[in-house]
Amino acid sequence: MWPLFEGRTCLPTTNGSASCTVGGYSSYAVNVSNVAQIQLAVNFARNADIRLVVKNTGHDFNGKSTGAGALGIWTHHLKDIEYYENYRGSGYQGPAVKMGAGVQAFEVYAKGQELGFTAVGGEGKTVGVTGGYVLGGGHSPMSSLYGLAADQVLALEVVLANGRFVTVTEESDPDLFWALRGGGGGTYGVVTSLISRVYPKFGVTVSTFDFSTGKDVSVETFWAGVRSYLERFPTHADAGTYAYFWILPTGPNAFTFLMNPFFAVNHTVDEFSALVKPWYDDLHELGISFQPNTTYYDNFYDGWMAGFPLETVASSTMMTGSRLFPRANWDTPTSLNATLNALRATITDGFALLAFNMKAELQEGFTSNSANPAWRETLMHAITSTSWTNTTSDTDIMVKMDDLTKAVGKWRAVCPDSGAYMSESDIQEPHFQQAFYGSNYDRLYKLKQWYDPTALFYAPTGVGSEEWVVKSLDGLPDQNGRLCRV
Ligand SMILES: Cc1cc2nc3c(=O)[nH]c(=O)nc-3n(C[C@H](O)[C@H](O)[C@H](O)COP(=O)(O)OP(=O)(O)OC[C@H]3O[C@@H](n4cnc5c(N)ncnc54)[C@H](O)[C@@H]3O)c2cc1C
């Protein structure tokens, strides 16, 4: 997904005589099809003191599934999906699904469509549901209603660093059960499958539209339209909806707003229209014209297929940064203005905004877990990025990455006590322990020492990773180099 972490030794090229090396990819990988093979790979890497990397889809934004010279465990083909109409366990009785480690969002959603259930997975179509996604928290188009994907987990099967294969539940091992659900992928063991609670089918209204600065819409009018939207975030999230929107700088003093899409779970078109009416009224009053394309689907799968774009993988020369903006930023007009100004300043400086208006509260009766506490307060997960070309020098990439980290500093400044979502973040996030794990970090760190005393599992920005450094060959924060103790 991210050529940067490979060390850019092997970028796609039209030059047939170009040379390249494996770089930061694992030197060898076990294409696993059963648990015993994972146990053998874990024991072999531990006994031989070889770097070990767990890779599912390779989607991780921080290169956590990459590592030069490593032995890789590739979980992609563990595709079993089993549905239980009436599962009992961990204080829960009801429908649940068991998913192998390689199951991707589009696969479990399709199975749900066939058998009549809805699983809490990502908006991204190809994300590995049982891998880094759920282990890092996992936000979903259903999150405003049901919480994070990690909250849904009832049991996991895991190969530990000592090679033992265990079933982890609240009853069998509450500490590990807590740590695995949100503490990050590639940290405590190799999850071979997990069981998640699922929900009945429900209807959804999906709406897309856009508006831009132009002849009739001045820059100030555009931002007034954005402010009116921001004001509605608490109401929209509390109504159980999830909105994925972009604000793009399209030229000097030119901006476009894209709603892509507004995903209103459990809303008919009429209910959706009533929800957004105050915002739309403001837009009309401001003279901003827009043409929503709004459709009701009687099930999640069709709405999700129609609503979310298939996002680019494997061609990006870019890096991201992000922030979880807490509800407190909506408390007063002053704090809301500060939030808007921080976003506006970043976008005016040329950075695109991709953001989600949502909430992700732990539902009543659910077992608490190690997901970043900042998620529980959030009303907006905002992402921005920087990019370069295949020929940009390493020095210039580093400058761009530093600029990105500084740009996100404007967001940190308006919510310093919040954090960022580890799975869609900046690898250079300052004090990542606080940002990605919050008050859970100390407990997660202690559990890491207990379950993985030899630090077999290493992932950049993972729990305990501050004790290690990758001596990358080009000086960039990539995985193309030896992993050494600090
Ligand atoms: C196109 C795209 C769309 C996305 N959409 C969403 C979204 O809607 N919601 C959201 O929350 N996030 C989303 N993400 C972010 C995504 O959650 C992270 O990239 C996540 O790390 C992906 O997990 P993976 O297992 O697929 O990827 P990988 O890169 O293969 O793995 C990520 C991390 O998990 C570890 N890991 C993988 N499998 C296992 C396992 N079985 N046991 C233990 N550790 C394991 C790896 O070692 C690595 O540390 C998206 C990312 C992309 C690229």
- Return per-residue pLDDT of the chain as tens, 486 residues: 778 898 888 766 677 787 778 899 999 999 999 999 999 999 999 999 999 999 999 999 999 999 999 999 999 999 999 999 999 987 899 999 999 999 999 999 999 999 999 999 999 999 999 999 999 999 999 999 999 999 999 999 999 999 999 999 999 999 999 999 999 999 999 999 999 999 999 999 999 999 999 999 999 999 999 999 999 999 999 999 999 999 999 999 999 999 999 999 999 999 999 999 999 999 999 999 999 999 999 999 999 999 997 777 666 688 999 999 999 999 999 999 999 999 999 999 999 999 999 999 999 999 999 999 999 999 999 999 999 988 899 999 999 999 999 999 999 999 999 999 999 999 999 999 999 999 999 999 999 999 999 999 999 999 999 999 999 999 999 999 999 999
392 C-alpha to ligand 1 centroid (Å): 27
59 C-alpha to ligand 1 centroid (Å): 5
Query: Of all protein residues, whose CA lies closest to atom 1 belonging to ligand 1?
Result: 311
| Ligand 1 nearest-atom number relative to CA 130 | 41
| Ligand 1 nearest-atom number relative to CA 421 | 11
The whole-number pLDDT of residue 373 equals: 98
Spatial CB neighbours of 49, under 8 Å, sequence gap ≥ 6: none
The whole-number pLDDT of residue 313 equals: 65
57 C-alpha to ligand 1 centroid (Å): 7
Query: Of all protein residues, whose CA lies closest to atom 23 belonging to ligand 1?
Result: 132
2 C-alpha to ligand 1 centroid (Å): 12
Question: Pocket of ligand 1, candidates 59, 134, 313: which has the most ligand atoms within 8 Å of its Cβ, to mutate?
Answer: 59
Class of domain 81-200: alpha beta
Query: Of all protein residues, whose CA lies closest to atom 4 belonging to ligand 1?
Result: 124
Spatial CB neighbours of 160, under 8 Å, sequence gap ≥ 6: 42, 166, 188, 189, 451, 452
Kind and range of the H or E run holding 236: helix 233-238
pLDDT exceeding 90 applies to what percent of the chain? 91
CATH of 3-76+441-485, one of 3.30.43, 2.40.30, 1.20.1080, 3.40.50: 3.30.43
Residue count of the chain, please give it.
Answer: 486
The residue among 25, 65, 146, 79 whose CA lies nearest residue 423 is 65
476 C-alpha to ligand 1 centroid (Å): 22
Pocket of ligand 1 (CB under 6 A): 1, 54-61, 64-65, 75, 101, 122-124, 126-128, 131-133, 135-136, 138-139, 185-186, 190-191, 311, 313, 423-424, 459
Q: How far separated are the first and last CA of the chain, in Å rounded?
A: 27
135 C-alpha to ligand 1 centroid (Å): 8
Query: Of all protein residues, whose CA lies closest to atom 38 belonging to ligand 1?
Result: 131
**Helices (DSSP H) in 294-430: which residue ranges?**
300-307, 333-348, 374-377, 394-414
Domain with CATH 3.40.462.20 in the chain: 204-437
260/270 Cα distance (integer angstroms): 20
420/424 Cα distance (integer angstroms): 8
The whole-number pLDDT of residue 276 equals: 98
Spatial CB neighbours of 202, under 8 Å, sequence gap ≥ 6: 118, 265, 266, 299, 300
Domain with CATH 3.30.465.10 in the chain: 81-200
296/91 Cα distance (integer angstroms): 35
The whole-number pLDDT of residue 17 equals: 81
The residue among 69, 68, 98, 64 whose CA lies nearest residue 83 is 98
Q: Cα dist. 119→5, 88, 209, 310, 450 in Å?
A: 31, 17, 27, 19, 32
Question: Pocket of ligand 1, candidates 2, 127, 196: which has the most ligand atoms within 8 Å of its Cβ, to mutate?
Answer: 127
Query: Of all protein residues, whose CA lies closest to atom 51 belonging to ligand 1?
Result: 59
| Ligand 1 nearest-atom number relative to CA 56 | 30
CATH topology of domain 204-437: Vanillyl-alcohol Oxidase; Chain A, domain 3 (3.40.462)
Question: Pocket of ligand 1, candidates 33, 52, 53, 55: which has the most ligand atoms within 8 Å of its Cβ, to mutate?
Answer: 55
Tokens at residue 94, please? 């009801």
Identity at 106, one-letter amino acid code: F
Domain with CATH 3.30.43 in the chain: 3-76+441-485
| Ligand 1 nearest-atom number relative to CA 462 | 49
| Ligand 1 nearest-atom number relative to CA 1 | 53
84 C-alpha to ligand 1 centroid (Å): 25
Between strands 52-55 and 71-74, the pairing is: parallel
| Ligand 1 nearest-atom number relative to CA 312 | 1
389 C-alpha to ligand 1 centroid (Å): 25
Query: Of all protein residues, whose CA lies closest to atom 3 belonging to ligand 1?
Result: 124
390 C-alpha to ligand 1 centroid (Å): 24
Kind and range of the H or E run holding 72: strand 71-74
| Ligand 1 nearest-atom number relative to CA 53 | 47
